[in-house]
Structure 1
């Protein structure tokens, strides 16, 4: 199990696919729960937000691993502020 976890921490095609699929499944399950309770943000919203967050964080990992430039926590902070913006829009609607 430890070997698989180390393999998935690296940036390769399998780890990218596994991360994206996990984001789809987890975001979709949260979205189904929200849709069943008739909340404004539902299945598609949570899936898109979770996949977008995963793609941004994988891009951040790629940039910090291969180029060694910039601050690796900046993109993560922008993901959090973007999700906060979506949450505020959901509350207003």
Structure 2
């Protein structure tokens, strides 16, 4: 929602280079996503990668909607939701080692 709002504001102001706002949204959300990723040294596992990637992709959807690219935003949202729920399908189950 914030990415869409900043992008809409960006289209209404007179700036020489409008890509700066988008670049700063992407880097800022990437920084927040990096803070979500945790490494567990006891279990030797990493958690939060899916959450960080989803937050970053959601910012991309917000940017697309903010620029009026509704088809791209809706298609992206549909694909992200499809990927997030695909692990519930039996075809994509992890094999036991």
Give the TM-score normalised by the residue count of structure 1.
Answer: 0.51
Q: Does 1:14 align with 2:28?
A: no
Long gaps (5+) in structure 1: 1-5
- 1:24 alignment partner in structure 2: 34
Greater RCO, CA 8 A, separation 6+: 2
The 1:81/1:36 distance shift into structure 2, 3 A limit, reads farther
Long gaps (5+) in structure 2: 8-20
2:35 and 2:81 map into 1 onto residues whose CA distance is 20
Q: Give the number of aligned pairs.
A: 77
1:36 to 33, 42, 45: 42
1:23 and 1:54 in contact (8 A); partners too: yes
- 1:66 alignment partner in structure 2: 67
- 2:57 alignment partner in structure 1: 56
The 1:15/1:59 distance shift into structure 2, 3 A limit, reads closer
Give the TM-score normalised by the residue count of structure 2.
Answer: 0.49
Q: CA RMSD in A?
A: 3.5
User: Which structure is larger by alpha-carbon Rg, 1 or 2?
Assistant: 2
The 1:92/1:61 distance shift into structure 2, 3 A limit, reads same
Higher strand share: 2
After TM superposition, give the deviation of residue 53 of structure 1 in Å.
2.2
